[in-house]
Amino acid sequence: MKSVKVVAAVIKSLDDQGNEMILATQRGYGEFEGLWEFPGGKIEAGETPGVALKREINEELGVDVEVLDSIKTVEYDYSTFHLSMECFWCKIINGAVELREAKAAKWLTMDELKRLNWLPADVLVVEELVK
């Protein structure tokens, strides 16, 4: 089975009331169109996970992020490939979110995360976050 190594950003920010919010994006293409995910993408040859994540978030959302602590690495078998997804806390340090690939985006509280229809591998991240 083909193996794909990706990185994902759990981008956090504070709303106007000082509540911690997490950014979720809705996939706008492919087999999983319409499902929600944490933004990110494939690690290119020669990239570290942090460099790949900064590049992917800039490409997908038009913002610069600071990559903070690792959350977990998810190993998940889809029907046609094995996914290894390294997830990191991130914060936006420059720019405003612009959807370049996603269909939609939402800032959510930890409690609201559970209400979305997530990609299967991302469900494991949500479960880790709401512990």
Contact indicator for 89, 65 with CB cutoff of 8 Å: no
Arithmetic mean of pLDDT, 16-24: 95
* Contact indicator for 84, 3 with CB cutoff of 8 Å: yes
Note the pLDDT tens digit of each residue in 25-67: 999 888 899 999 999 999 999 999 999 999 999 999 999 999 9
Whole-number Å distance between alpha carbons of 20 and 109: 6
Q: Would you list the DSSP string of 90-112?
A: EEEEES----SS-SEEEEE-HHH
pLDDT value of position 29: 86
Q: Quick one: 2-129 is in which CATH superfamily?
A: Nucleoside Triphosphate Pyrophosphohydrolase (3.90.79.10)
pTM: 0.95
Least confident of 8-12, 90-94, 103-107, 127-131: 127-131
Residue 7 is encoded by which pair of tokens? 């990185």
Q: What is the pLDDT of residues 74-107, one digit of tens each?
A: 999 999 999 999 999 999 999 999 999 999 999 9
Locate the domains of the chain by residue range: 2-129
- With a CB cutoff of 8 Å and minimum separation 6, the contacts of 83 are 3, 4, 6, 74, 75, 76, 77, 121
For residue 131, what pLDDT band results from cuts at 50, 70 and 90?
confident
Distance in angstroms (rounded) separating the CA atoms of residues 58 and 98: 9
70 pLDDT above the threshold of 90: yes
**What is the mean predicted confidence (pLDDT) over 14-35?**
94
